Structure 1
Amino acid sequence: MPPPSSPSAWQLPPPCGRDPLNGLPLPLALRAVLFRRGHDLNSAQALLNAPALPSTTEHFPQLETAVARLTQACLRGESLAICGDYDADGMTSTALLIRALSSLGAKPQPAIPSRMDDGYGLNAGMVSGLHGQGIRLLVTVDNGVSAQEALSLAEKLGMDVILTDHHTLPVEAPQALALIHPSTTPEDSPYRGLAGVGLAYVLARTLAESLGQPDAIGAARDLFCIGTIADMAPLTGANRTWLREGLGHLHRSSCIGLRALQQLSGLEERPLRADDIGFQLAPRINAVGRLGDPRLVVELLTEDDRDAGVELARRCDALNRQRRELCDAIEAEALALLEADTQGLPPFVLLAQGHWHHGVIGIVASRLMERYRRPVALLAGDGEGLLRASVRSPEGFAVDRALQQCAKHLERFGGHPAAAGFSVRAEHVHVLHEQLNGLAAEWLDDQGSARRILPEALLPLEGITRAFWQELQTLEPFGVGHPAPLFWARDCEVTREQTLRGGHKRLSLQQGDSCREAIAWRWDPQQPIPRRVDVIFRLSLNRWQGEERLQLEVLALREHFSSMVLQRGNLLYTCRRHGDRGMELVNQTGDRLKVNCLDNGVLDSDDIRSSHAYVAGLLQDAAIGLGLHP
């Protein structure tokens, strides 16, 4: 997350009426969050109690064809290849199908390209080599739809190909026996957000049910949970339903390697949360794909011997430590390069060093993007005069479109609005950087350098209780498409401040009779913390030496002032609290209007001006800003 000490523009939430989503069994602050996210009572209830999912065969038009072919392979004990990818989604997808198909009678083997030697996805060399081994059936996971050369060769060699992929489909339909892809489902399908591992799970689950052996793929849902969260797939629809089913049992997985990895990650014998996967398990899996052979993860997640599983988990953990060291070293070098640049920080940060490791420059680019709130590209040598880049961009700057405008300078490129990659010849880097700087400068001028931060509901410190935490957990799992709520608290006194190793700050906050602990990650030592603050935070559970304590994870702090200013066009209005539940609104000519805010959010006043629509809107915004309404 961005450091809380970085410049930020607070945008408090809009009014949400007297009693939002009345009837929903949640505290007012959580009802306000859901209301502001666009939920009505029906959709909020569906979030709490997910409806049954439709038949997968009805939503994936070619799923029955794929299942029929795999049924033959299972009944005949046929050898086949699972062609995966070297990220967490691709590796968990590969392991999921290896485990499932093995238990159902087939003889699958993994086929994953090398990040350094082969690049992404299915290629003609893999197809030719597998054909030479007698393989006549290929199943891709998390790749394949754009591998035209490899698919054409497979067809020429008489090999059947089942494609499961969630990346953008090309204009020309890929050549394959069957295509399992989210975009082939109806537009309102709950399967639209599935990542590669979700599609692999659909295939395995449907196959096992058709063979009358649903219990044979017991670990498949566990691997689905890991891959879905690691790939940051949207936690809506089928993803949410299956995650809610699976997370509670994940700590007791029948997958020996996964249990070993949990133990090495320090996760206790308790139901896991999405954060446990995102911050503990996924980095250890991703590190292998970045620095080592991705088949190590597949071996780990398909291993049946406990001792062997522990040893494989240790190797993954060692690569993760190496990954952290490499990232820290590259980040330090990148910061030194930027500090040495006498021309100042460019609109688009682009740095190149031939010795940087391709596998981790994306992580460092993300760190720099969060630090400077502007797009960042880090380039590493790729041989023969080429440089390969990983790009990360803040919300609002679509880096994929920016690269499209610079296509004439690039050898190849691709990606999404927030993350992309490209290859460029060394002699074209300067002119490329100039054009990217121009595009980023226009964007920075439009949106300013401060990051916008939008809390979703007021949560006083007295409201942060174990009971509230339990209610908050009913909204889990949190992730892309359904993030953990962002709360704010007003007028807190900082009674203790402690600097921790790594530059973090631990704070004690007092509000009335309530005191709560808070942590501010990566706090800028040059930024003093005011004595009285307003704070934006997420709520978390800190586990330390067998104890569990609720804590505020601070995303932003600002000095507290007793009054606030509302601007409407050229007009300014000063607002201040008046007693426990009252407030006063003063215009530029000094006219005053006093109202009381009742507990249900109703504004009460004898002044007839308060009923005017324009004034009523001002008062509602003031009530939120002054902490009188969530």
Structure 2
Amino acid sequence: MESERHAECGGPSAPPLLPSLPEQRWHLPAPLEGLGSAGPNDRADPGDLETFALPDELLAVLRRRGFTSAAAIAALLEPPAAPDPQLHFADLSKAVARLQTSCAAGEAVAICGDYDADGMTSTALLVGVLQRLGARPVAAIPSRQDDGYGLNAPMVERLEAGGVRLLVTVDNGISAREALERARDLGVEVILTDHHSLPAEHPPYLALLHPACTPEGSPYRGLAGVGLAYVLAQALCLKLKRADALAVALDLFCIGTVADMAPLLGVNRRWLMDGLPRLGASGLPGLQALARVAGLEEGPMDATTIGFQLAPRINAVGRLGDPRLVVELLTTGDPERALELARECEALNRQRKELCEAIEAEAVALVEADGPRRSAFLLLAQGHWHHGVIGIVAARLVERFGRPVALLSSEGKGRLRSSVRSPKGFAVDQALQQCADLLERFGGHPAAGGFTVRAEQVAALQERLEGLAQSWLAERGEGLPLEPEAHLALGRIDRAFWQQLRRLEPFGIGLAAPLFWCARCRVLEQRLLRGGHLQLTLEQGESRLRAIAWRWQGQGPLPEQVDVAFRLRLDRWQGQERLQLELAGVRCSGAGEVLLLRRERSYWCRRQGEGLLIRNAAGEEVEAAIGPLGEAAAEHPYIRSLVQEAAVALGLVA
């Protein structure tokens, strides 16, 4: 359907739309033909879908995400067991054989990780397993401030001088050609486990485990670094018949996978569903201590808890401190030492928060100093900004302003180092590639990246990035698109619905928590909380629910009646649990009327009796009845599709 599918409130004489979180353009979903049909090429039997006993709203979300058959939904709810990894990783046997020799000989093995949560949990996983199997693993993680990302030649030389003859990289290494060539020259063997982009020409190595080297469609394709470390450790323990050595490896897999925002599908989904329920009773003293300082001693540890509570505390160490602190935390067997290390993580996390708040305030002031006509690409530089946190702040500015952002800080010797983040649709990696001649180094993926640039090239770089962003913005339009997936009335939200929603967990990249919307909610209370968060009490019919808008950027009080876009959360506070709407967008409601825009045509739609009344710009009106699933009793296909679309926009169907 070629409609813009967004509704404005109240018709031509309505007040302007409220600023959303931030100012957004709502795009409501295309209507479904009925929850029993899956489209012209993939029809599903309504009876098949009913066997899952999922609410219509959740079935609508799954249908719109492409889960259009009973088999696809069944595989989502209960993923199959992971297949034999030997059939998916060609070098796995070679890597296991070499590590088996190391364990038998008590050999020193360097585990060369990265300083983010994925790299640190990967390192801890292999260090812990190899210690139990008889090897002498050494954690070797570069400093973010002093060494930069990944394995480097001086590290290789230091490790070789200390007697290391085998390196295992985790979450890095595939692009470290200079370091790997130095290792080859020194006679040091290297097992590479990495999930970053493969170079056109591979560097030298003994064995390589990489998701892109698995067969097309492999369930191992979405593994992060910690997933590859888990595959290697699991295969080694199986070979040595030492399942006991793998006891806590799945716990570390869960933390690293969620923290790295790996897609939660394939074997990631299977292993998370196996590991998350037992995470709260983990045998890792370090994990228990980290949960304690984070105030998570009660309640289950799910993917949301990891992403918003544990991962930031782990990442803070890599951003501001020594990553070996986390490796020790996650491998120590001493509860007292674990608590001491967890408190150090907590202190660094508080420091990280303070730095982020200070840098964000400075950056926002720089943007707003340019007035309402802000740049299409926000490139901001301050020499004193901390390299370790500018990526977090850049992501916050993307949320606030809806534009790609690069924050630069001094690296010394006339160079600046940057972290780049962007909204959906603007490809950071492609943009940096088009600026390659201006950059010293760069890398990344569509949503995020980084580069180093000489100070004298910054003006030219800003001009080129501005041109790229202007072209993208002209095509996409101002504001962040907001795309709710299904209408969910407040009266439908209860513990039974929450339990059905939880059947779709874990949520994350590749399977985000559903974004619902609800029309014509009455605002009973609104209160601005410390930290700039907005708390609301919403009413619809006889149902009342609390809602929270984190880091609210709206202007002024809300009107009495609003439409809200939200994700459903279970809020735990002081031993109490309650369902809460976590708002992603707010706009004023029309007086039972919405405006649909189709190309250059406008239609005002409102409910009338058991059907709809639709009026065009010329004042012509047509009435049409609608069924319970939004099907329209109209003969003309255009009118029928318009009625179905209006039923979605008015919140009459999911």
TM-score range relative to shorter protein: over 0.9
Map 1:86-485 onto structure 2 (within 5 A).
Answer: 86-341=115-370, 344-485=373-514
The 1-side partners of 2:329 and 2:645 are apart by 54
List per-residue Cα deviations over 1:534-553 (Å, max 9, x = no partner).
11110001111110010111
Q: Does the alignment pair 1:14 with 2:43?
A: no
User: Does structure 1 conserve the Cα–Cα contact (< 8 Å) formed by 2:183 and 2:190?
Assistant: yes
The 2-side partners of 1:165 and 1:174 are apart by 13
Taking only aligned residues, the RMSD between alpha carbons, in angstroms, comes to 1.5
Bigger mean CA offset, 35-44 vs 266-275: 266-275
List per-residue Cα deviations over 1:178-221 (Å, max 9, x = no partner).
00000110111000000000000000011111111112211100
Q: CA deviation at 1:567?
A: 3.1
| 2:381 match: secondary structure | strand
| 2:143 match: secondary structure | coil
Bigger mean CA offset, 480-489 vs 585-594: 585-594
Q: CA deviation at 1:269?
A: 3.6
Aligned counterpart, 2:528: 499
| 2:154 match: secondary structure | helix
Q: Which runs of 5+ in 1 are unaligned?
A: 605-609
The 2-side partners of 1:108 and 1:4 are apart by 51
Q: CA deviation at 1:589?
A: 4.6
Aligned counterpart, 2:637: 613
| 1:489 match: secondary structure | strand
Tell me how many residue pairs correspond in the alignment. 622
User: Does structure 2 conserve the Cα–Cα contact (< 8 Å) formed by 1:19 and 1:601?
Assistant: no
The 1-side partners of 2:534 and 2:600 are apart by 39
The 2-side partners of 1:575 and 1:17 are apart by 20
List per-residue Cα deviations over 1:576-623 (Å, max 9, x = no partner).
1113x422223445443333333344434xxxxx12222211111111
List per-residue Cα deviations over 1:351-376 (Å, max 9, x = no partner).
11111111111111111121111111
Map 1:532-611 onto structure 2 (within 5 A).
Answer: 532-561=561-590, 562-579=592-609, 581-604=610-633, 610-611=634-635
The 1-side partners of 2:554 and 2:598 are apart by 36
Among 97, 101, 118, the alignment partner of 1:68 is 97
Among 5, 8, 29, the alignment partner of 2:57 is 29
The 1-side partners of 2:394 and 2:601 are apart by 42
Looking at both structures, which has the greater relative contact order when contacts are Cα pairs under 8 Å and sequence separation is at least 6? 2
Q: CA deviation at 1:452?
A: 0.6
The 2-side partners of 1:491 and 1:525 are apart by 19
The 2-side partners of 1:268 and 1:516 are apart by 27
Q: Which runs of 5+ in 2 are unaligned?
A: 1-18, 37-45
| 1:436 match: secondary structure | helix
Q: CA deviation at 1:342?
A: 6.2
Aligned counterpart, 2:648: 624
Q: CA deviation at 1:4?
A: 4.1
When the two structures are superposed, what TM-score results if normalisation uses the length of structure 2? 0.93
The 2-side partners of 1:413 and 1:585 are apart by 53
Query: What is the letter of the counterpart of residue 650 of structure 2?
Result: L
User: Does structure 2 conserve the Cα–Cα contact (< 8 Å) formed by 1:5 and 1:527?
Assistant: no
| 1:567 match: secondary structure | strand
List per-residue Cα deviations over 1:71-112 (Å, max 9, x = no partner).
111122111110111111100000000001111111111011
| 1:611 match: secondary structure | coil
Distance 1:122 1:487, change over 3 A: same
Q: CA deviation at 1:60?
A: 0.5
Bigger mean CA offset, 322-331 vs 583-592: 583-592
The 2-side partners of 1:240 and 1:413 are apart by 32
User: Does structure 2 conserve the Cα–Cα contact (< 8 Å) formed by 1:4 and 1:521?
Assistant: no
The 2-side partners of 1:525 and 1:51 are apart by 45
User: Does structure 2 conserve the Cα–Cα contact (< 8 Å) formed by 1:221 and 1:242?
Assistant: yes
The 2-side partners of 1:115 and 1:573 are apart by 56
Q: CA deviation at 1:335?
A: 2.1
| 1:519 match: secondary structure | strand
Bigger mean CA offset, 569-578 vs 131-140: 569-578
| 1:261 match: secondary structure | helix
Query: What is the letter of the counterpart of residue 625 of structure 1?
Result: A
| 1:381 match: secondary structure | strand
The 2-side partners of 1:232 and 1:484 are apart by 13
User: Does structure 1 conserve the Cα–Cα contact (< 8 Å) formed by 2:25 and 2:480?
Assistant: yes
Q: Does the alignment pair 1:529 with 2:545?
A: no
Q: CA deviation at 1:524?
A: 2.9
Structure 1 runs of 4+ off > 6 angstroms? none
When the two structures are superposed, what TM-score results if normalisation uses the length of structure 1? 0.96
Overall identity of the aligned pairs, in %: 59
Aligned counterpart, 2:43: none
Query: What is the letter of the counterpart of residue 593 of structure 2?
Result: S
Bigger mean CA offset, 297-306 vs 555-564: 555-564
Query: What is the letter of the counterpart of residue 468 of structure 2?
Result: L
Query: What is the letter of the counterpart of residue 150 of structure 1?
Result: A
